[in-house]
Structures are given as structure tokens and as C-alpha cells.
Amino acid sequence: MRYDAVIFDMDGTLLDTLIDLKNAVNHVLEQFGYPTRSTAEIRRFLGGGARNLIMRSLPEGSTEEKIDEVLDVYRVYYAEHANDLTAPYPGIVEMLETLKQQGVKLAVASNKPDEQVKSLTQEHFGRWIDHAMGDREGMRCKPHPDMVYEILKPLGAEVSRALYVGDSEFDVQTAINAGMDCAAVTWGFRDRDELEAAGAVCFADTAEELLKIIEG
């Protein structure tokens, strides 16, 4: 089936944000006197939003109060360094250009803070992405389907004609919860076997493969 609209996750799907995220987490961990984390650890910890990332990065047994304290500092630092080394994955820009020319409606739904989602989308994909939405007050984060339903409204798209694209178990579950088809990409923050275990059945190893899936 050819899709009328595509909703993309951001981190690990459209943008390689891993090093900026790792650097921000480690900066804050050092500031609080905690051991830093490797790139592989941060990759594994990602998904589910900033609080989950900080909770997983802190030593086991950290209190809720400490998690919130570190999170507040992390949010400020990362907001200033979210685009230091971040860049689109290979082939993403070309894929978006092709889809835009074909009239496919494109959007981003991410658990990053809404302001950062909109800023990074505008910086890297402003010519192609129609709408972008992130974590904001009154909106439940993925894997709840609320964000997906909300962003389908301005797209004027039906769930049955839309595809959700992501790289993690959170994205697969978001699509399942929303009743949408899902394409799981393997270049992001989870390996294929983890995506399969989450329920993914459609995979793209490259942006070119993803384009063919969208085109039907």
C-alpha cells in the first residue's frame, strides 16, 4: 500500500543524535560526581524520554529527588548543545525530498522536548517536514498514541493511510497502540532482534529501502 502520510520518530530515525546526547549526559554526571557512561550504554538507555535516560544513566538506587535534580541540569545543558554534532542519517534528506515531490505528508513525533523537536526539525528538515511535535504539558509521551493522533489532525490523514517509522521498542509499541502500520529502521538505537521482540514485522536497513516501503 502506498501511504498518504508518514510520521517519523526523530532520534535514531531521522537524526543521529547519539554523541550529543552522550556528551550532555556525561557532562552532567561529571558535574554531580558520578561515573560517566559509554556510547554503547547511552544507546541502550535511550527511548522513553529524557527522564528515563537520566534515570538509567545514574547509579542504581538513585532517589526520585536526585533523578529530578540531575534531569533539570541536563535539560538546560542539552538544550544548548543539542545540535553540536547531530546530523541526518545517510540518505534521509534525499528520501524526504522524493516523498515531498510525490505529495506525501510528513511529520515528526518525538519524546524530546517540544521546543527542541521543532528547532531541530526546522534546522535539518524545514523544507520537507510539515509538522513536528515533542513532549509538552498535557500530552502523554510515546508509546501512548496521543501524540500520533494529535499530529494526524493537521496532516488531514487517516490512521489507515499513515505509516509510523521509528527505531526502538517504544516506536513499535506506539504504532501498535495507535493502530498504525509501522516500519522499524535498523540504523538507530536498537538492533533488529530487539525490534522483532517488540513486535516489529517490517524493517528498513537503509533510507532507500524505507522509501520503497512508503511508496508501496
Cα 198 to Cα 71: distance, rounded to the nearest angstrom: 27
Residues written for the chain: 216
The residues pairing with 105 across neighbouring beta strands, listed in sequence order, are 5
In the annotation, is 84 catalytic? no
CB atoms within 10 A of CB 82: 22
Residue 180 identity: M
How many contiguous H segments (helices) and E segments (strands) does the chain have? 10, 8
31 near 21, Cβ under 8 Å? no
Check 4, 9, 72, 130 and give the catalytic one. 9
CA distances from 212 to 15, 21, 174 (A): 20, 30, 22
Cα 112 to Cα 124: distance, rounded to the nearest angstrom: 16
Furthest C-alpha separation in the chain: 53
CB atoms within 10 A of CB 108: 26
What sign for the dihedral angle of Cα 84, 66, 109, 119?
negative
From the list 195, 107, 119, the residue with the least C-alpha distance to 149 is 107
Could you list the active site residues?
9
